[in-house]
Amino acid sequence: MRHWLWSLALLCSVFISISNAASPLPVWGKNAMVSSADPLATEVGVNILRSGGNAIDAAVGVAFALGVTENFSSGIGGGCFIVIRLADGTSVTIDGRETAPARATRLMFVPKDTTSPSYLSTMGVMAAGTPGEVAALELALKKYGTKTLAEVLEAPIALADTGFDVGIRYDIYLQNYAPFLGMFEGTKQIFFKNDSMTFAFGDRFVQQDLAATLRRISAEGAEGFYHGYVPETVDKYMRDHKGALRAADFESYAAIEREPVYGSYRGYDVISMPPPSSGGIHVIQMLGLLEDYDLGYFGAGSSDAIHLIAEAMQIAFADRAEFLGDPGFVNVPTAGLMNPDYLNQQRMLINRLQHDKLDGPGNPQDFLPPEIEHPDLKHTTHLSVIDNLGNAVAITATINTPFGCGVIVPGTGFFLNNEMDDFVTWPGRPNYFGLIGKEANEIEPGKRPLSSMTPTILVRDGKPIMVLGGAGGPRIITGTLLTIINSIDFGMSLQAAIDYPRFHNQWVPDYLFLEQEYAIDLMEALRDKRHNIYPQTHWANVNAVSADTLYGGFWGASDSRGSGLAKGF
Ligand code: GLY
């Protein structure tokens, strides 16, 4: 009987947990589920849900907590994207992406001597854009939550105030980045226990300045972050250290509610983040390119499946480099990029037998509907939450590369981001992630840099089925794509779908990056298909939850590559 039930589960719901030799089962909870990159932050979300909060309350609490316990990845000095699917069936996204300061200029990062490298867009004061996370989280909570900022901030403030024990992952980041953290006085004061040593594994790590800033937000709302002490303190520091950010940049910042991008894949509706994210469009594009192939027949980890998916990846990334940018500044041909006719045309570029380096982007402008509807403009971490009311929330938040620009302005307690590096900082040259771009993503005052963050929700029969996204620059896009394909096409459990070895092609450079777990003979088979194989260990960190459509309740899984936690109740 039991065996029969499991077979039925497999047939009826690809998201039902099935065992996979390489991965443990995902966790199950009857009422709600939270998955994030840090166990303490996940606990914050579960406690909010247990106390009667909805998925939005919990997600906002988790996002603030991640900025305390995983502050090398995200925080109030950075930005985020939020995708929400509400119990009433409506979907919305909130854009809390950083903006370029008013003093920013197109070539501000190109040195006079163009033969020397420039690190100004990744390290130090110039790299910081105006933070957006606090405005976005407040907007989400006010419009869609049930609790107050003070309520959801209680636990994150306690984590900053009384501290937490440094775990192994945090310790590795601290030790690897100690020389970087030691370069900035305000940062050194917080992260070093003496002149030469950072806090380390097992130490209690307290962040009282951060607690004070969070208390300010708790008492005054986003107003307490964007006006008064914080911007004035940052402004003075920036003037003293030749930075671009000013109090006026904080004061004029606003999070933007945007219409999601929608797609579909094998009967599932895909809801994701529109520009200035590139992730949503490109996941929908790649799924559209691939829907024509029976990937399940080829099998997970087969050279045929990897080849086809990788070819779809390069088509999407070639378009990304050309067309994607802040829609407030450039016309992104969003509808054309996702138009099935365009994807049918682009699919013809896929050679079934071998890899052909793509010459360039496609022509999505020719596939725009006659009248474009302009919707009312009404190192990164991802969290996913789902509740039994029918709400689902995906938030990806970031300060960009680990510890952002490295600067904590004394008296504020939070890292400033280095999101300026997500712009085209030096025309013709790749950014930190090796991504290239064109005019669409060049620096302009107030503009939002293009992002790969891909918070995404899958819906089937009107119900949220899977909530996912990840960290890892452009590998977020492909990590999200592969998790969806592993679940839907290859029938893996949520945990296995996340843990399964990944691969990535971003058009330029022309490599097929593969996780090293893949067998040598598979790599040889892909070389025979003319892929330039590049085995690597550096990958996205995906956190996802899903609904069990057969038995009820929710599954949760956190990437085995990280040290996060999925927990429900
Ligand atoms: N900062 C990485 C991204 O947004 O893509």
Residue 474 preceded by cis peptide, ω within 30: no
Q: What pLDDT score was predicted for residue 55? A: 98
- Report the half-sphere exposure of 171 (CA within 13 A, side-chain side): 9
pLDDT over 60 at 503, yes or no: yes
Q: In angstroms, rounded to a whole number, what is the distance separating the alpha carbons of residues 431 and 116?
A: 15
Is 25 domain-assigned?
Answer: no
Q: Considering just the CA atoms, what is the radius of gyration of the chain in Å? A: 22
Distance from the alpha carbon of residue 106 to the mean position of ligand 1, in angstroms: 19
Q: Is residue 8 part of a domain?
A: no
Q: How confident is the model at residue 370 (pLDDT cuts 50, 70, 90)?
A: low
Residue 10 domain flag:
no
Q: Is 448 inside any structural domain? A: no
How confident is the model over 433-479, as pLDDT tens digits? Answer: 899 999 999 999 999 999 999 999 999 999 999 999 999 999 999 99
Structural domain contains residue 563: no
Query: Both 533 and 544 in a single domain?
Result: yes
**Residue 18: pLDDT above 50?**
no
Q: Kindly state whether residues 82 and 195 are assigned to the same domain.
A: no
With the most atoms of ligand 1 within 8 angstroms of its CB, the residue from 380, 401, 431, 454 to mutate is: 380
Shortest-distance Cα residue to atom 4 of ligand 1:
451
| CA atoms of 479 and 358, how far apart (whole Å) | 21
What is the residue-averaged pLDDT of the chain? 93
Tens digit of each residue's pLDDT (9 = 90 or more) over 413-433: 999 999 999 999 999 999 998
pLDDT confidence of residue 186? 97
Q: Any idea which of 8-17, 100-109, 420-429, 514-523 has the lowest mean pLDDT?
A: 8-17
Confidence (pLDDT) at 371: 55
**How many Cβ atoms are within 10 Å of 549's Cβ, its own excluded?**
16
Instruction: Give the bridge partners for 258, in sequence order.
Output: 93
115 catalytic per annotation: no
Alpha carbon of 418 to ligand 1 centroid (Å):
10
Chain position carrying tokens 């004029």: 252
Pocket of ligand 1 (CB under 6 A): 380, 398, 400, 419, 422, 451-453, 473
Question: Given this model, what pLDDT does residue 262 score?
Answer: 98
pLDDT at 1 over 50: no
Domain match, 415 and 348 both: no
Does the structure show a pLDDT above 90 at 540?
no
| Among the ranges given (52-66, 68-82, 527-541, 543-557), the one the predictor scored with the smallest mean pLDDT | 527-541
Answer yes or no: do 186 and 295 share one domain: no
pLDDT value for 16: 36
Tell me the residue type at 92. V
Residue-wise pLDDT for 244-278, tens only, equals: 999 999 999 999 999 999 999 999 999 999 999 99
Q: Are 360 and 469 within one domain? A: yes
Ligand 1: nearest atom to the Cα of 422: 1
Secondary structure in 3-state letters for 366-421: HHCCCCCCCCCCCCCEEEEEEECCCCEEEEEEECCCCCCCCCECCCCCCECCCHHH
Going by CA atoms, what residue is nearest to atom 1 of ligand 1? 400
Nearest CA to ligand 1 atom 3: 451
Mean pLDDT of 176-201: 96
Q: Which of 324, 416, 417, 419 to mutate to test the pocket of ligand 1 (most atoms within 8 A of CB)?
A: 419
What pLDDT does 8 receive? 31
Which atom in ligand 1 lies closest to the alpha carbon of residue 449? 4
- Does residue 272 fall inside a structural domain? yes
Question: Which residue among 400, 421, 441 closes a domain?
Answer: 441
Q: Is residue 15 part of a domain?
A: no
CATH number, domain at 310? Answer: 1.10.246.130
Same domain, 374 and 401: no
Query: Residue 85: what pLDDT?
Result: 98
Distance from the alpha carbon of residue 330 to the mean position of ligand 1, in angstroms: 19
Which residues does residue 29 pair with via DSSP β-bridges, in sequence order? 554
The winner for highest mean pLDDT among 279-293, 346-360, 374-388 is 279-293
- How many A from CA of 300 to the centre of ligand 1? 28
Tell me what the mean pLDDT of segment 21-42 comes to: 92
Do 275 and 390 belong together in one domain?
Answer: no
- Give yes or no for residue 536 having a pLDDT over 90: no
Domain identity same for 484 and 354: yes
Report yes or no on 112 lying in a domain.
Answer: yes
* 542 three-state secondary structure: strand
| CA terminus-to-terminus distance, the chain | 27
- As for how many domains the chain has, the answer is 3
**Shared-domain flag, residues 511 and 391:** no
The reported pLDDT for the residue numbered 368 is 83
What does the pLDDT read at residue 24?
Answer: 86
Query: Residue 337 pLDDT > 80, yes or no?
Result: yes
pLDDT tens-digit profile of 39-61? 999 999 999 999 999 999 999 99
State the Cα–Cα distance between residues 494 and 512, nearest whole angstrom: 25
Please check whether residues 326 and 280 belong to one and the same domain. Answer: yes
User: Residue 376: its pLDDT value, please?
Assistant: 33
> Which domain range does residue 425 map to?
33-167+205-257+380-441
Say whether both 231 and 102 belong to one domain. Answer: yes
Residue with tokens 């890292």: 415
Collapsing DSSP to helix, strand or coil, 159 comes out as helix
- pLDDT tens, position by position, 371-392: 533 333 237 999 999 999 999 9
* Ligand 1 centroid from CA 422, angstroms: 6
Structure token pair of residue 290: 């691939």
Confidence at 116, pLDDT banded by 50, 70, 90: confident
Residue 254's nearest CA partner among 217, 220, 226 is 226
Catalytic residue among 334, 380, 480, 483: 380
209 and 313 together in one domain: no
Tokens matching residue 161: 């105030």
Nearest Cα neighbor of 37 from 310, 379, 345, 290 is 379
